[in-house]
Chains A and B, each alone.
Chain A
Amino acid sequence: MTTIANPSNTRSFDIRSLGFLLVPLIGVAITLALHAYFGWTSQQQQAVYAGTMRGSAPLLFGALVGIIGEKSGIVNIGIEGQMTLTGFAAFFAAAASGSLLVGVAAALSVGMMTGLFMGWSTITIKMDHIIAGTVLNVFAGGFTNYYYAQGKTMPSFPSWPIPVLEDIPWAGKILFQHGPMVYFAVIGAALLHFGLNYTRWGLRTKAIGEHPSAADTVGISVTKLRYRNITIAGGVAGLAGLSILQSASSFSNTGFSSGRGFIALAVMLFGRYRPFGALGAALLFGYFSALQSQLQLFDTIDIPSEFIGMIPYAFTIIVLAALGYAARSPAALGQPFEKD
């Protein structure tokens, strides 16, 4: 419990706090080796790296959803369903109104509603957290299937190249020529890092996840804060849905999220519940899905496409197995809070 009373990790510089850099570094090493093996041109490499950035945005947002929930003591395996529902809402709202902003508003409000549902079922009616998430996932699948309508199109997301920076040779194209959601994801991770480590909100959030009864004793309303956090997290899930929509540019009722809500949980664990850790992990996972699309597209090697399609999922399992018990989760995770 020392982390509550004395947030020592924020005081002095510790070389281990740069640990999150390790993941991207390993990633870069692997990718350079792979690219040399496939003999890709500089342009193809750029395509893979830019694809990595795009593909990591929904995973990063999803992981942030998970982090906010788990830091507050709520296990959220319903992220997949949240992404599906918010993507659905955004697509059809934007298609009907012809305005992207209406779509964004729909994603955020539907996201917060799903967050509220997670909160209500786990906090108020004390449902098992994993069952609550499953209910959300099953509901999302059923709802989007039942109400899906074909033949709609929505206005596409703008591209926001960053002036000056986009002209940096080679790297500019990879890092600074994206749609808004990619930048927002990085900003989101930074904001959450700041919020968790340097604000009262962060301290209180960690308190209700680690030791809710102690938090209650010092006057924090555990229930209220959990509700607020899981609802905010729902809004972030809306951003995750929008990120998928930004790359896919339409909603598909058969494979919109395709397990990304679950991969996001692996990203969260691999990032050890830290926003910047999740950023590194999301890039790594994003890389493997970009690699998958690149291999499917260019057919550079003689591997059946079904096996290439397994890459992101197999990679998730391998990473989690390698990680083992390393990530320590908040102590009161998944337990309902009973006020004495």
Chain B
Amino acid sequence: MRALQGPVLAIALALVFGAVLIAIDGKNPIEAYGAILSGSLGGIDQIGRTLEKATPLVLAGLAVAFAFKAGLFNIGGQGQLVLGAAFAAWIGYRFSLPGIVHIPLALIVGGLAASILGILVGALKAYRGTHEVITTIMFNFIASNLTTYLVAFPDGPWFEVEGNASNISRTPPIQPSAEIPRLLAGDSSGIPLGFLVAVFAAIVIWWLLAKTTFGFEVVTVGANRHAAVYAGISVKRITVITMAISAFLAGLGGAIETQGVVGRFIPGDNSGLGFDGITIALLAKSNPIAVIPAALLIGALQAGATQMQSRAGVSPDILNLVQAFILFFVAAPMVVRWITRVRSLEEDSGPQLSSSWGAA
């Protein structure tokens, strides 16, 4: 339970800071947070929506957390996710296949498209010493440009030509056979099956890290690069594979978003998701299973944002600020302890990343 103290206090403090900002604006913070609560957990539809929002967040969080384990900072989840979303949409609309093949094929192609990016980033890091923070950010812009080109009006190769009267830059809708179905979808929207895929991915990553030799190597590289070399582990190989898997996870998140929620690819529809992954991974202390509740929390905030705006008149953008506060307090247990006077709080301040910065 003590491991939970840090994240819980960080969230609580961040919400208090957010409430102060809302109050300064002359709005009612209790009303705002109440609206978030009912908008995210108030009924089966709302819960379904929270799960829907949390799904790509689990995967974006896993992507960052898994890279953290090897001491790598994948700040480019955004670009990887967008690539996954676009390529899954392409497989989804272009081909007609039975659902049992079509759904996983689109998911995997989405993930693989992203992992090409990851391999590039990993190889640049491993063989040229190029820091992944810079390359992944640069690839965010490149991926965003590339996907915009693919679906752009009028010449984009994946642009939806027919039935697109207002010439919106987007792909055609995916075939029903590529859509991820919902469970218990009676009168309500039901539970998105994509969430279970995300949970399954979290379990696989946990298993990989905790139970396999490869996972042991990843953690060793993350803990001490020099010791890893001494133990005969190829740090270069681990760096490339870790980035490939990390990017695959983010791409998978984008693919599920396309196949389970949006139904096609529209540029700009999922902006910001990749960066949420950083908050989630830190909140979960890079534990793959803990990523699930962390993503659910951020997902709930996002699911309730519309209600907050309509009922309390607070712009959903406040949540980005709350998230920045969460990020800060999770990374600064010293400050949390100082404010809250909780003495027993753990000192662990998360992954140490700057040691690999510019190290020659």
The answer to whether A138 touches B320 (Cβ under 8 A) is yes
Task: State whether the Cβ of B265 lies closer than 8 Å to any Cβ in chain A.
Answer: no
The answer to whether A128 touches B331 (Cβ under 8 A) is yes
The answer to whether B75 touches A134 (Cβ under 8 A) is yes
The answer to whether B146 touches A306 (Cβ under 8 A) is yes
A237–B357 CA distance with the chains assembled, in angstroms: 21
The answer to whether A127 touches B278 (Cβ under 8 A) is no
The answer to whether A310 touches B141 (Cβ under 8 A) is yes
Interchain pairs with CB closer than 8 A, number: 152
B140: chain A residues at CB < 8 Å are 259
Within 8 A of A (CB), among B338-358: 349-355, 357-358
Q: Select B142's contact among A132, A139, A314, A333, beta carbons within 8 Å.
A: A314
Task: State whether the Cβ of B137 lies closer than 8 Å to any Cβ in chain A.
Answer: yes
The answer to whether A145 touches B124 (Cβ under 8 A) is no
A305–B328 CA distance with the chains assembled, in angstroms: 38
Task: State whether the Cβ of B324 lies closer than 8 Å to any Cβ in chain A.
Answer: yes
The answer to whether A313 touches B323 (Cβ under 8 A) is no
Q: A134-B327, A146-B321, A321-B124 are in contact. Are A333 and B357 (CB under 8 A)?
A: yes
Task: State whether the Cβ of B23 lies closer than 8 Å to any Cβ in chain A.
Answer: no
A146–B354 CA distance with the chains assembled, in angstroms: 30
B351: chain A residues at CB < 8 Å are 128, 131
Contact with B along A301-313 (1 / 0, CB 8 A): 0001011011001
The answer to whether B133 touches A143 (Cβ under 8 A) is no
Min CB gap A2→B, angstroms: 17
Q: Main secondary structure on chain A at its contact with chain B?
A: helix
Within 8 A of B (CB), among A164-202: none
Min CB gap B18→A, angstroms: 10
Task: State whether the Cβ of B248 lies closer than 8 Å to any Cβ in chain A.
Answer: no
Residue on A with the closest CB to B267? A306
B335: chain A residues at CB < 8 Å are 125
Min CB gap B216→A, angstroms: 24
B327: chain A residues at CB < 8 Å are 131, 134-135, 138
A269: chain B residues at CB < 8 Å are 358
Residue on A with the closest CB to B314? A146
Interface centre among B317, B324, B327, B354 (most CB of A within 10 A): B354
Min CB gap B79→A, angstroms: 10
Q: A141-B320, A328-B360 are in contact. Are A262 and B354 (CB under 8 A)?
A: no
The answer to whether A130 touches B354 (Cβ under 8 A) is yes
A326–B208 CA distance with the chains assembled, in angstroms: 35
A70–B131 CA distance with the chains assembled, in angstroms: 15
Task: State whether the Cβ of A316 lies closer than 8 Å to any Cβ in chain B.
Answer: yes
Task: State whether the Cβ of B275 lies closer than 8 Å to any Cβ in chain A.
Answer: yes
A310–B279 CA distance with the chains assembled, in angstroms: 28
A338–B139 CA distance with the chains assembled, in angstroms: 37
Task: State whether the Cβ of A93 lies closer than 8 Å to any Cβ in chain B.
Answer: no
Min CB gap B33→A, angstroms: 16
Contact with B along A259-289 (1 / 0, CB 8 A): 1001101100100000000000000000000
Task: State whether the Cβ of A334 lies closer than 8 Å to any Cβ in chain B.
Answer: yes
Min CB gap B344→A, angstroms: 18
Task: State whether the Cβ of A324 lies closer than 8 Å to any Cβ in chain B.
Answer: yes
A134: chain B residues at CB < 8 Å are 75, 278, 327
Task: State whether the Cβ of B306 lies closer than 8 Å to any Cβ in chain A.
Answer: no
A132–B334 CA distance with the chains assembled, in angstroms: 14
Task: Please tell me the number of chain B residues within 8 Å of chain A, measured between CB atoms.
Answer: 54
The answer to whether B148 touches A329 (Cβ under 8 A) is no
Q: A128-B350, A131-B350, A143-B321 are in contact. Are A138 and B135 (CB under 8 A)?
A: no
Contact with B along A61-95 (1 / 0, CB 8 A): 00000000010000101000000000000000000
Task: State whether the Cβ of B332 lies closer than 8 Å to any Cβ in chain A.
Answer: yes
A134–B274 CA distance with the chains assembled, in angstroms: 13
Task: State whether the Cβ of A317 lies closer than 8 Å to any Cβ in chain B.
Answer: yes
A145–B322 CA distance with the chains assembled, in angstroms: 13
Q: A131-B353, A324-B129 are in contact. Are A138 and B142 (CB under 8 A)?
A: no
Q: Select A304's contact among B149, B282, B358, beta carbons within 8 Å.
A: B149
A310: chain B residues at CB < 8 Å are 141-142, 145-146
Q: Main secondary structure on chain B at its contact with chain A?
A: helix
The answer to whether A265 touches B134 (Cβ under 8 A) is yes
Task: State whether the Cβ of A214 lies closer than 8 Å to any Cβ in chain B.
Answer: no
Task: Please tell me the number of chain A residues within 8 Å of chain B, measured between CB atoms.
Answer: 48
The answer to whether A306 touches B354 (Cβ under 8 A) is no
A126: chain B residues at CB < 8 Å are 334, 349
Residue on A with the closest CB to B338? A125
Task: State whether the Cβ of A298 lies closer than 8 Å to any Cβ in chain B.
Answer: no
Task: State whether the Cβ of B31 lies closer than 8 Å to any Cβ in chain A.
Answer: no
Within 8 A of A (CB), among B137-159: 137-142, 145-146, 148-149, 152, 155
A75–B315 CA distance with the chains assembled, in angstroms: 33
Task: State whether the Cβ of A162 lies closer than 8 Å to any Cβ in chain B.
Answer: no
Task: State whether the Cβ of B12 lies closer than 8 Å to any Cβ in chain A.
Answer: no
Q: Select B138's contact among A262, A306, A329, beta carbons within 8 Å.
A: A262
A333–B325 CA distance with the chains assembled, in angstroms: 26
Min CB gap B303→A, angstroms: 18
A325–B324 CA distance with the chains assembled, in angstroms: 33
Task: State whether the Cβ of B87 lies closer than 8 Å to any Cβ in chain A.
Answer: no
The answer to whether B149 touches A329 (Cβ under 8 A) is no
Within 8 A of B (CB), among A110-150: 121, 125-132, 134-135, 138-139, 141-143, 145-146
A25: chain B residues at CB < 8 Å are none
Min CB gap A65→B, angstroms: 15
The answer to whether A333 touches B358 (Cβ under 8 A) is yes
Task: State whether the Cβ of A327 lies closer than 8 Å to any Cβ in chain B.
Answer: yes
Q: Select B128's contact among A132, A138, A266, A320, beta carbons within 8 Å.
A: A320
The answer to whether A130 touches B353 (Cβ under 8 A) is yes
Min CB gap B327→A, angstroms: 5
- Chain A to chain B contacts (Cβ below 8 Å), 22 pairs: A75-B354, A77-B133, A125-B332, A126-B334, A127-B332, A127-B349, A131-B327, A135-B327, A135-B328, A142-B324, A262-B134, A306-B149, A310-B145, A313-B139, A314-B142, A316-B138, A317-B124, A320-B134, A321-B130, A325-B128, A325-B129, A325-B360
In the complex, the 4 A-B pairs of residues with the closest C-beta atoms, listed nearest first: A334-B354, A142-B320, A329-B358, A306-B149
